[in-house]
Amino acid sequence: MKVAELPVMLIFEGIHRSVHDVAAFVDDTGVADFARIAPATMSLGELTAVADAAVFVGSEGLPTAALATAMSAGAPIVAADTPEGRDWLADGVNALLVAPDVPRHIARAFLRLIEDRSLAQRLGEQARASAARSFDKRKILRHWRKLHDELRAAVS
């Protein structure tokens, strides 16, 4: 299947200066009629329901709630390769990690997902499995209880 035959929706976290650079790169590659950058007015739930990939590219930090939502939805993820990002994501395992704020690398990773749908599917499945392990409510509750107990003991 040719890239131009695949309709694709991009999710970007918030308004980021790289969004415009990536959009220009996608346009330059000749797939602009088939790739759409989701409008900032859409809710996170709406975005994950229609997106073919989630893109978290800023160097200023990873939006954990948005990342958890995208991972839980099984979206293939392109994310900035930052220490914080590596807490949740592994390159080639449950995401494609790229240099932050480098539009050409971001766009190439996204195009790789478009061209290799089996890779995109595998990354999405692994992201969903990782989210189930990392964002399990019982695990989070145990973590918060432990922190609460430690703080209480420190104050007493």
- pLDDT band for position 11 (50/70/90)? low
Predicted TM-score (pTM) of this structure: 0.66
The domain tally of the chain equals 1
Task: Specify whether the CB–CB gap between 73 and 93 falls below 8 A.
Answer: no
Domain range for 82: 3-155
List, for residues 88-121, the tens digit of each pLDDT value.
Answer: 899 999 999 999 878 888 888 988 988 898 999 9
Write the CATH number for 109: 3.40.50.2000
C-alpha–C-alpha distance, residues 14 and 71, integer Å: 17
Which of 1-15, 38-52, 72-86 has the largest mean confidence?
Answer: 72-86
